Amino acid sequence: MLNLKLKRTLLTVAFLTLLTTFYGFEARFAEPATDTAASELTAVEPTGPAALPLAESYQISVYDNIIRRISGEEGNDWRLMSAIAYHESRFTPDIVSRRGAKGLMQIMPVVARQFDVPQEQLLDPETNVRLANLLLNKIASTLRMPTSVPFRDRMSIILASYNGGIGHVSDARRLARSHGENPNSWEVVSRYLELKADPAYYENEVVRCGRFTGYKQTRAYVNDVMKRYDRYCQVAK
């Protein structure tokens, strides 16, 4: 009788172990395969301000000190700039895209020329991060959004300009305004960026940069960077 109970107990333990292993395996493969750090941070579900203590020592990348210092000097949140760097290059300083964008922040040579920086310096991490900060600030000042615009709307529109071009974003804002909608709402601007693929909209007299077909990429870029920024804000000061 004792042996029978022992066998049943052992069989139950073995079954539970097998079940846990199987579902654990399935859960891991349900996560994005390209972003280990993101899956680890996503697992944290804060329930309030004290749910996840911030740590100055938390390392986002080996370029934290550079990004933190330069972003601070230029008045930007280093965690946002880190989120951009992750999306642009996965923190790879010597990467060059097929279009010619270079470095951590994937800066185009034309941007270097705008700020009188020699192109051969674009792969230097400090120069690259500095240019990204300068470009973001220039975009913000060009867009001239009121200070009352909510942060997420403001930053999403700036990021869309960084990725898709300020000309197309400005067109979308002018279209929104001409149709009586809010040009400072990312939801509205995003919709008009999509509509700029339609001749009924890109041939409108307020449009200066013509057709725009990259709205899906730009929308995904903004969403991805903002989500990663939120994650970084949870773990780093």
pLDDT, position 156: 98
Least confident of 17-21, 62-66, 114-118, 144-148: 17-21
Among all chains, which residue has been given the structure tokens 């960077």?
225
* Domains of the chain from N-terminus onward: 52-143 (1.10.530.10), 148-228 (no CATH)
Average pLDDT over residues 35-48: 31
Residue predicted with more confidence, 4 or 161? 161
pTM for this predicted structure: 0.76
pLDDT, position 196: 98
Given pLDDT bands bounded at 50, 70 and 90, which one contains residue 39? Answer: very low
pLDDT, position 41: 31
Least confident of 13-17, 116-120, 139-143: 13-17
- Side-chain-side CA neighbours of 78 within 13 Å: the count stands at 19
Average pLDDT over residues 36-46: 31
Residue 27 clears pLDDT 50, i.e. is over it: no
- Distance in angstroms (rounded) separating the CA atoms of residues 35 and 31: 9
Q: Which of 71, 95, 94 is nearest to 82 (CA)?
A: 71
Active site residues: 88
pLDDT, position 59: 95
pLDDT, position 8: 56
